[in-house]
Structure 1
Amino acid sequence: MTEQHEERNPTLRVGGLLVHEGRILMVEQGRDEDRYWLLPGGGVEFGETLSDALRRELQEELGLRVGVQRLVAIVESISPDPEYAKHVVHLIFEVSAPVDGPPEPHDDKVLSARFLSEFELQSADVRPPVAEFLSACVREMPSSPQYLGRRW
């Protein structure tokens, strides 16, 4: 193990899974040709609970006030490139929020936000790659949290 890896710790990212009329709320990020979709959310700050972090992130990104329901899934993203040395633990929570229209980005990192259908999810660049799991959640939310393993 290199010194670089010994000093790095995994980071926590919370994501909100909001299903509305058979579609899942996703945000588009990236730049130029490298654009991708992910669940709205973000990093957990020191001393912040997971649910507080999720509420803060969705408020900052989309101006949404959400209710955090329950943990749905855990996914680990570990870079296969040792020089990149990135390890993110994604904690996906079911959330609820009133939906009055299309979501509006409130953060410069968010290029767009919209509800994607199961069909759109399958053809989108979803990161981490959990489109199949998200599509299944549209049909039926899992009864207990799922560990989806390592996905990059």
Structure 2
Amino acid sequence: MTEPVTPKIRTSAKAVILHNGHVLLMRANWDDQDCYFLPGGGQHPGETLGDAVRREVDEETGLTVTVERLLWLREYIGAHHDHPVREATTHRIEAIFLCTPTSDPDQLGGHAEDEVQTGLEWVPLGKVPALSLLPRAIRQPIASLAEAPAAPDSYLGDVA
């Protein structure tokens, strides 16, 4: 008899960094596909989510940012999505923050990039819905920040 799988919950912080109508995205090659992700990553024990997003953005992009506010809270429970067996132990909770750069936005280059990261790109907000940005559920909400930067905070739920 197979033992039931118990996922460990991983908390992380992601950044929607806006500058002049563009959002900073991390280009990546993940699961043999070229795609984009928001900068950010795992929270360390004893670290606030705000501190985690600032640290991760610095590591992956070289930017220092001001955390403006929480935009969305997203969960991802792997057993509910495309690869339920392979991701049976995956359960992530991501706090997605609106951030603005406080260092030169043209000087990009992190010192601890993710292994899947292939580059960084400032993308016009209007082009975000057509990108292979993961998770798919945040494409339109990010693009809508061009018209309504003061959108209310929301819980996105368990989305891919």
TM-score, with normalisation over the residues of structure 2? 0.83
Deviations 1:61-100 (A, max 9, x none): 1111111111111111222204422121111111121344
Deviations 1:17-43 (A, max 9, x none): 111111111111225842221111100
**In the alignment, is residue 101 of structure 1 matched against residue 100 of structure 2?**
no
**In the alignment, is residue 87 of structure 1 matched against residue 95 of structure 2?**
no
Aligned AA (2:92): V
- Name 1:4's counterpart in structure 2: 5
- Name 2:124's counterpart in structure 1: 117
Aligned AA (1:56): R
- Name 1:46's counterpart in structure 2: 45
Q: How many residues are matched?
A: 149
Task: Tell me the C-alpha RMSD between the 2 structures.
Answer: 2.0
Q: In structure 2, what is the Cα distance between the partners aligned to 1:137 and 1:43?
A: 25
- Name 2:13's counterpart in structure 1: 14
| Contact 2:54–2:67 (CA under 8 A) maintained in structure 1 | yes
- 3-state SS of paired residue (2:28): strand
| Contact 1:28–1:37 (CA under 8 A) maintained in structure 2 | yes
- 3-state SS of paired residue (1:136): helix
TM-superposed CA distance for 1:14, in Å, is 0.6
For residues 87 and 140 of structure 1, do their structure 2 counterparts lie closer, same or farther at Cα, with a shift above 3 Å needed? same
TM-superposed CA distance for 1:113, in Å, is 0.7
Aligned AA (1:95): C
For residues 125 and 26 of structure 1, do their structure 2 counterparts lie closer, same or farther at Cα, with a shift above 3 Å needed? same
**In the alignment, is residue 135 of structure 1 matched against residue 143 of structure 2?**
yes
| Contact 1:41–1:57 (CA under 8 A) maintained in structure 2 | yes
- 3-state SS of paired residue (1:148): strand
Aligned AA (1:84): E
TM-score, with normalisation over the residues of structure 1? 0.86
| Contact 1:72–1:142 (CA under 8 A) maintained in structure 2 | no
- Name 1:147's counterpart in structure 2: 155
| Contact 2:17–2:98 (CA under 8 A) maintained in structure 1 | yes
Q: Which runs of 5+ in 1 are unaligned?
A: none
| Contact 2:127–2:143 (CA under 8 A) maintained in structure 1 | no
| Contact 1:77–1:128 (CA under 8 A) maintained in structure 2 | no
For residues 54 and 100 of structure 1, do their structure 2 counterparts lie closer, same or farther at Cα, with a shift above 3 Å needed? closer
Q: In structure 2, what is the Cα distance between the partners aligned to 1:120 and 1:144?
A: 22
- 3-state SS of paired residue (1:141): coil
Q: Which 10-residue stretch deviates more, 32-41 or 98-107?
A: 98-107
- Name 1:36's counterpart in structure 2: 35
TM-superposed CA distance for 1:104, in Å, is 2.7
Aligned AA (2:118): L
- 3-state SS of paired residue (2:94): strand
TM-superposed CA distance for 1:58, in Å, is 0.8
Q: In structure 1, what is the Cα distance between the partners aligned to 2:110 and 2:133?
A: 18
